[in-house]
Structure 1
Amino acid sequence: MAWQLHYTSAATGPSGRAGFQVVADSPGLPAGPAAEVTPFLTYRPPPGTPTAPTREQIRAMPVALSYAPAGDRHALVRCVYLGQDYSGRYGNFLGHALVLADGDLVGLRPIEFWRAALWADAPADPGTELPELTELTPGTALDPESLGRWLSAGGQAAYQRLGTLLDLVRRNLVQGYGRLVLVGADGEEIVRWIAVISYSLPWEAVTRLSFVTYSGDPAATTQLIVGTTPDVWMPSDVDATVVVLAEEPQPAETGRFARTARELWRSMDFDGIDELAGFGTADPDTAAALVALCLTGATLSPEEQAAVAELIEPGVPGWVWPHLGKRADLLGYGLAAAISAHGPAEAAEPCAARCVLLALRDPALGPPTRALPEAYREQVAAVAWAELAAADRLDHLVAVLRVAEAAGLRVPAAKVERAVAALVEPQLTDVPAQLDRTPYRWREALLAGLVTGLEQATPAVRASVLTPELCRSLAGRDLRAAPSTATAVITWQTGSAALDRVEATLQILRLRHGTGTMRERDTAFKDIWREDPTAAELRRLLDAAGAHLPDYHALSSLPGRLFVRTGLKDEQAVEIATRVRTARMAGIVADDAEALLLAIGLAGARTPQRAAAEVGRLTALVRHLDQDLATLVLARAAKTLAKQDPLFRMALIRHLSRPSREWLLQQWLSVKAGRDEQAALLEIAIRLRDVGEPVPELEEWAQSLVNGWSPFGSMESRFKKDPELSEGLRRLMKPKRRGIRLWGND
């Protein structure tokens, strides 16, 4: 029983909308099969079609009869050009589709429905119910006898073309690739070629032989055989073999089936054609290939072996098996596996050994499904060891182990470990996935080999190979004998929050030293302490491993980073600095702590001499500090000393070395000072001049201030009661300003 539907452009249809749509169908047509037919309801006129063709031209346009499996059913569709649609626009066509069940085509070939009486030439009225077809009557134009006479009339060229076409189609049906485009001005000729091909094949194969007799866009169609006209454009890289029927066929080598069928058509032996089709769905080339292998030891191509393997499964005559066992060394994996699975012991056992050997050499083949007979195990195990040693990729090595596991081979763990260690290189990827694929009994050996290889590798290789996934796999292992690898894994654990930063640091410090480990550890500590430490973390670290902080730059800089983050204002920072000083540490960590304590301690300096000594120590330390910390320390020290009275500050400057005086004055003079600070600095400058020790930079600042455009009444009033300061202020002024009346005097 077949459902029908009509598809065309209509002003209105069952859904009430305009345009291309299904206007009529059989009651009960399921939505699924109807949707699967839709891709075949298409028609594009040949490019040479006039814009407004006449009725005769429309009738002469090629008919598109197409056939294809559609889900669990079959679609048989006939599309004819109609010309104008309801709106007067050209481009309308009628698509008449049959949705067929499996049993509807028994004994019939779809191409036989060419010119069948069941096809409609005009669409039914919208909403019409089309009857279900209980009997499908084919046309009568394509019987084998008439086709045989047509081929005969074409002579040698026709038979040569037939052989080529049959080989192309057979290749698609058997191997699943290779489309065929027939280009011809005569649509009937294309139909006959499709018919000859269909009659040459087994009926089961014909049901899989999709075709369309005409397409205006062959590159976009999905059918195996596509007919088209010469004026239709096709891209040069179209995925199909294009046969132009107007050209002479070129000699081509064909397979056994194509040669046989061609000769049967030549002799008009229609019974022979039926017998050839008796092979069912098997490839007819297969039988001849199997006989040649058994009797002469012929070398079969991979395609022939695959075909023979399919023939083996349902069974072959008994005389074949002993020969196949003796020819095992000539077999590929697929054929050997088929014989191993379906043959008796005399053929299956040597073929099982052949499968293991081939799988060891080509990991893509996968493990064999049959265990290796005991008689072959020692010989095959030696091959497995050699393949492990020669493996250049981890997936290859794991595949060898999987084959060994399936075959029951003995592979010592030491061999696995050595082979894996040799594979540690930047290209080594996807390790966790390969570890999951590794048979359980060799997983520890694989991990041990990875660790050995990682420890021997350069830091760059180690960083490349140690992905987060691999680190996760190694995190629970005892890596004390591999300090470089352990350091990298611990660093990853910190980043993934599996370890806190202090514990991670302590674990790394407990590892034994190896070549390059100091540098690697420092790099690890830098990564672990990417974010500034907290005071609580530093307390723990100082208590547990304070003596080791000076050994690593990344650790020795941690207190200084805390000092910078807190801006030297946090009591905890002072506490940490005091701990460092008490522990009598050396290096950067000691310098940073001492600088902070000195800058803060200046507030307690009782005399200029004492303050100058502390500033001198600070000056020496600052040269070694991080720039950010140095900036904060100097600013804090200068700000603290600026709170002293001008006489104290003047005496301090007199006792400072030139480097100390330079940075201290730079700090004082660079800050935007208020009136009080300006007065203090001015007083210091005047008093230094009076004692004969003027400081150039301070002198320059003072003169600039005094001789500027701003009024200085406030400065004059501050110094009014101190004659020395008043006189010093007067001397700082430029001559032209000395005549200005001060404080209202004449």
Structure 2
Amino acid sequence: MAWQLHYTSARSADRSGFQFTAVSPGLPPGAEAAVSPYLGYRPPPDSPPSPGARELEELPVSLGYDVVDVAGERRLLVRSRYLGRDYSGRFGNFLAHAVVADPSELEGLRPIEFWGAPFWADSPGTDLPVLEYPPPGDAFDPETLGRWLASLDHDPHARLASLVDAVCSSSERIVLVSRDGEEIARWIAVLSYSLPVARAARLSFTTYTADPASCPHRLCGTTPDVWASLRTDQTAHVLDAPAPAHEPSRYARAVTELWRTLDLEGLDCLAELAEVLDDGLEGAAALLGLSRAEDTGEEAQELALPLVLDRALPSWVWPRLPVEVLSFDLAAAVNRRSPDADQARAAGERCARLVLSTPSLRTRMDDFTLEDPAELAADVTRRMPRAPSLPLLAELAVVAERLGVPPARETVGRGAYAFLDPEHLGDGQRLASADDVVTAVGTLTGEARTILLAGVVHGLEKGGALRRRDVMTGRVCDLLAEHARDCPLRSTPEVSLHMLRSLAARHGVLGEPTLGLAEALPRNSAAEGLLTARDVPGERDPKDAARALERVGGALAGPAVQAVADALTRRSPAFRAALVSALDERVRDLLVHRWMETARQRSERFDLVGVALRAPGTPLDGWVREQLRKRFTVLQLETYFRDDQKLRAALRELRE
């Protein structure tokens, strides 16, 4: 039942002044005393002292709510509005219309929904019936509130996150400041729909008070002139200004995102999950994200676990849990508690795979139910040739190995081969990508990885140039080079060459990773050419360097010679000239053309002129003549070679 009371300034037979002028019959004992602290109204300080009818309409209406003790716990709603003059003609009168209700009368409703309810009176009455299930108003439906929220300035979703956390994480009074009382009511409505129903039912509020520093409500609305007149260290949320900086909780982030996308079903689901545990707001947000596969991280799963273990978990959650990504503890909970037999079985298999792939979980076989492991092993062995992807093949190989089934070339090796060669791909299987290769190799260890690598490189060798281009990215080439000793690269020359070219392009022809791979490729002409080139820049005798450089061959001979040429720029012009003089014409021309192309700095060009003057008769002669066409360059060169008369003479000869 819900009883009504009117409180205003009036003259009666017994007394005059503020008093209860009407109450519903059967009002519980003590109701008037419990309601009295919530009855009062002062207009804002900037209001006219003698307002007319129109000005009275513009003054803020106050709707307050709290839980009171009236012969047991009951809900109190109070709507107060300023009336102006009382029966004697004095200003200061107001009407407070109170409703004291059993909790069941408001069950499933947020108290702010009674803003604009049809039973509120604007003037004192005499006949106040008992209300059965008081009807709420229709001003604050969630969809309308969501559109209104999105239309506000100053990042309203950031303010909402701050208010949600303030309501949920402390017991301090929260003050909302706005000239518009209905705007405050809307914010309270948005907050109420952002909370579980039970928590919203415990949130006391008032949409307007002239004394926010001492009012009995947790959430208080007031006007700017009231707030400006107070001397208090308390902070307030000024609704027409930007929200303060705030790092939102997981729950607040979830709430604001749901409002941002106007996902009302998601808000209902979040509120329902938040009712499972008294302190489960963060877990509710995590579980909602998990059930939508939006957040499957370790932290989210840890927060969601207590809710999944609770008997009050809503049944709709079970089929939405992504079993394939659940942690061991969550998968074990699903295995034991899910009402769906297929899901429980899948969760058991998930646990088995985690146990088999994670040594620290091997002692937890008793935490879940699994059919005979031997049957699982046989099933894994049967499924491996039909694995839809290379990573799943690797995963099944791990499971099989943990169950005592050793890796076999017939399953792991040939399976990996098929994922790289389009001609051998089976129905329902997808060609392996670069990411697939990285994942599969990282999944396996020991003999199983060696077998899989063999299948991968043979598949790439036979799969053709286009497959190698698509799959053998820099990351894959680096990974294969890391395991080069375990790969049959001697029998896969095209794969080896692609790897060498990739490493050379990214790490340098003479870079450590490139040369490391070359050392792992015996009797490979391209690799041997790189290893020969490696020692050329450090040779002490120019003739020995020339003979070594002439032996550089293979598919990467050109880039190797260029890399040597770059390294030789650090040697003296005299050494370089002696080297050029000892080289055959083919290699010599490759070398000097590289030097001419890369000589950018003046010191580099002058050193190269020194090489040309000491070793005439090469393409450098023409290049030097081009340099000498500039008078300023000639003067600089003469200064540069002022201490070497022989070179100065050679320079003059070239000029002539």
Answer 1 or 2: higher relative contact order, Cα 8 Å, separation at least 6.
Answer: 2
Query: Do both share a fold (TM > 0.5)?
Result: no
**TM-score (normalizing by structure 2):** 0.43
TM-score (norm: length of structure 1)? 0.38
Compare CA radii of gyration and give the structure with the larger one: 1
